[in-house]
Amino acid sequence: MLLNAPGFVPLISPPETVEGDAWWFVYRGTTILVRQDPSRVEVPCVAHPRDLGLDAPHVHYLGTLDGRHCFSAECAEGAEAPDGFVWAGLRSLFGAIDDSTFLLAGRAVQIVDWDRSHRFCGRCGTPTERKIHERSRVCPSCGQTHYPRLAPVAMALVTRGDELLLARSPHFPPGMMSALAGFVEPGESLEECLVREVREEVGVEVDNLRYFSSQPWPFPHSLMVAFHCDYVSGEIVPQEGEIEAAGWFRIDDLPVLPHRLSIARRLIEDALARLRASRVPGT
């Protein structure tokens, strides 16, 4: 399952010359510049942010989307939005812009954040230098190489017969419930993380883990790795402070589910399709 932007070709080194306008994913801190009017929300399509009166000294080439070049850029914290544009939080654009643009905006913000966070070596404090043909910054003093940070997350959709175990975090939108997920610890495999997280978050034991798919998720720099798994034992006990509510849901009585662009929604829909296909008519 391809969860990247359709029509996008990722690249690192830009061509010597860029003809025509490009898509620009311009960030000020964690907010992105978008054109906003009653008919559409979109990122700027210009030759360079300077055409909008913006100083953007830190630019990164992303690749091409349907043949058009794409760049990320960072402006100073106090930069004002040009006329017709606003600075918006990326989460607020979820579902407001097309899927390809949202996925590219997520890639762009992670690259901008990595570049901002590694301009000085974390080992010796020397200013780092950007490498040309790979996404990294290297320290000219001690040789330490700094790559963009990725935090792997194991996601588990637990099934018991024709029921799904869904839960909600306190930061979810009202009524929404989703699959369980947690960050992988050092020295831990994805499978070990999944079993541990399900046990910690809801007190349930699982087995028969089956890989489903993965998806980059820019909040802030995660890689979601999703699995189906089966219930073995235990009663649901939500982890205090982490899980607001959790329960078993039959496939014909589901709560509000995550947005269709998220891997959690795709994981749930995959389980629903298989469970519905296996149902005996009349049950």
Q: Is residue 39 part of a domain?
A: yes
Q: What is the pLDDT of residue 243?
A: 97
Which residues does 156 contact at the CB level (< 8 Å), separation at least 6? 179, 180, 181, 194, 197, 198, 206, 209, 227, 229
Please report which helix (H) or strand (E) contains residue 168, including its range: strand 163-168
Task: Kindly report, residue by residue over 199-210, the tens digit of the pLDDT.
Answer: 999 999 999 999
Query: Whole-prediction pTM value?
Result: 0.88
Which residues are registered as beta bridge partners of 154? 182, 225
Residue 163 shares a structural domain with residue 69: no
Q: Is residue 99 part of a domain?
A: yes
Residue 86 shares a structural domain with residue 189: no
The average confidence (pLDDT) of the chain is 93
Lowest mean pLDDT among 19-28, 75-84, 90-99: 90-99
pLDDT at 176 over 90: yes
Task: Kindly report, residue by residue over 9-56, the tens digit of the pLDDT.
Answer: 999 999 888 889 999 999 999 999 999 876 788 999 999 999 999 999
Residue 179 shares a structural domain with residue 270: yes
Residue 68 shares a structural domain with residue 183: no
Whether the Cβ atoms of residue 228 and residue 210 lie closer than 8 Å to each other: yes
Count of other CB atoms within 10 angstroms of residue 206: 26
> Is the alpha carbon torsion for 16, 17, 23, 28 positive or negative?
positive
DSSP H helices, the chain, are 99-117, 190-202, 263-278
Domain boundary, last residue among 117, 143, 166: 117
Residue 104 shares a structural domain with residue 194: no
Q: Is residue 90 part of a domain?
A: yes
Q: Is residue 239 part of a domain?
A: yes
Q: Is residue 128 part of a domain?
A: no
Q: What is the pLDDT of residue 282?
A: 59
pLDDT at 2 over 70: no
> Is the alpha carbon torsion for 205, 208, 212, 216 positive or negative?
positive
Question: What CATH number has the domain bearing residue 160?
Answer: 3.90.79.10
Domain boundary, last residue among 66, 94, 117: 117
Residue 273 shares a structural domain with residue 163: yes
Residue 17 shares a structural domain with residue 108: yes
Residue 179 shares a structural domain with residue 93: no
Domain with 17, as residue range(s), is 8-117
Residue 173 shares a structural domain with residue 245: yes
Residue 191 shares a structural domain with residue 271: yes
Domain boundary, last residue among 93, 117, 141: 117
pLDDT at 224 over 60: yes
Q: Is residue 125 part of a domain?
A: no
Which residue from 164, 234, 159, 163 is spatially nearest to 201, judged by alpha carbons? 234
The tokens describing 100, both together, are 């390809």
Cα 221-227-229 angle, rounded to 5 deg = 145
Q: What is the pLDDT of residue 94?
A: 81
**Distance (Å, whole) CA 115 – CA 121:** 11
Confidence grade of residue 211 (pLDDT, cut at 50, 70, 90):
very high
- For 210-226, b/e burial (b = at least 16 CB within 10 A) is eebbbbbbbeebbebbb
Whether the Cβ atoms of residue 157 and residue 228 lie closer than 8 Å to each other: yes
Q: Is residue 143 part of a domain?
A: no
Report the length, in residues, of the chain.
Answer: 283
Residue 21 shares a structural domain with residue 107: yes
Please count the structural domains in the chain. Answer: 2
Mean pLDDT across 108-120 = 96
Q: Is residue 146 part of a domain?
A: no
- Beta strand 151-160 with 163-168: parallel, antiparallel or unpaired? antiparallel
Residue 156 shares a structural domain with residue 270: yes
**Distance (Å, whole) CA 164 – CA 265:** 13
pLDDT at 194 over 70: yes
